[in-house]
Amino acid sequence: MDNHQEAQCIARAKAGDTTAFGQLVAAYQSNLRLSARQWTGDAALADDMAQEAFIRAWQKLGQFDGRARFSSWLYRIAFNHWLNVKARYQPATACNDETAEPQTASHPGTGRDIARALARLSEPQRLCIHLCLQRDFTHAEAADILNLPVGTVKTHINRGRSALQVLMADYSSTTEAMGHG
């Protein structure tokens, strides 16, 4: 969905058009669920969180003023809901092997190694890397979603990247030492 189509859907949805809102859900549902799964490490909880985020977005759509991208606003709603859920239940936050990228034939284990390395990062580093590098949010948008200063988001990304390089080198060395490389 391009920006013009999105703006039209938002305007129609604000006027009460549920079909238009359904188009917004269709456009963002998959990525939001994947992000929620990365945050929670639990597919069922992630689906519930995404559904709740869309319900809340529908209820608060009149408050969307267009200063941020719709996706940023939606992710902010979902992330705030995640913080509330996490405070109540404290579920695991690390991504697990099921959320890893598919393995490639040329680099078996790479997706699993990346998932394991991401899981070892601090939660702020993991969240910033996920939003900026995997979901293509700008640093400013990620800062808004996570309620952090932009400089802090940049720091978490830089430190997370450095840690990932070390962890991936360790995994590579271990694989080679075991004769799998």
Residue 95 pLDDT greater than 50, yes or no: no
Name the range with the highest mean pLDDT among 47-61, 77-91, 115-129. Answer: 47-61
- Give the pLDDT confidence score for residue 116 in this predicted structure: 82
Residue 34 main-chain phi, psi, to 5 deg: -65, -40
Residue 148 pLDDT greater than 90, yes or no: yes
Residue 92 pLDDT greater than 90, yes or no: no
Interaxial angle between packed helices 150-177 and 110-120, expressed in degrees from 0 to 180 and rounded to the nearest 10: 130
Domain definitions of the chain by residue range: 1-93, 96-181
State mean pLDDT over 136-162: 94
What top-level class would CATH report for the domain 96-181?
mainly alpha
More confident residue, 100 or 152: 152
pTM of the model: 0.71
**CA separation, residue 103 to residues 34, 107, 152, 177 (Å):** 17, 7, 32, 20
Name the range with the highest mean pLDDT among 55-69, 111-125, 156-170. Answer: 55-69
Residue 101 pLDDT greater than 90, yes or no: no
State mean pLDDT over 31-44: 91
In this structure, the dihedral spanned by the alpha carbons of residues 104, 159, 38 and 50, taken in order and rounded to 10 degrees, is: -130
C-alpha 34/C-alpha 49 separation (Å) is 11
CATH 3.40.50.720 fits 1-93, yes or no: no
C-alpha 162/C-alpha 130 separation (Å) is 15
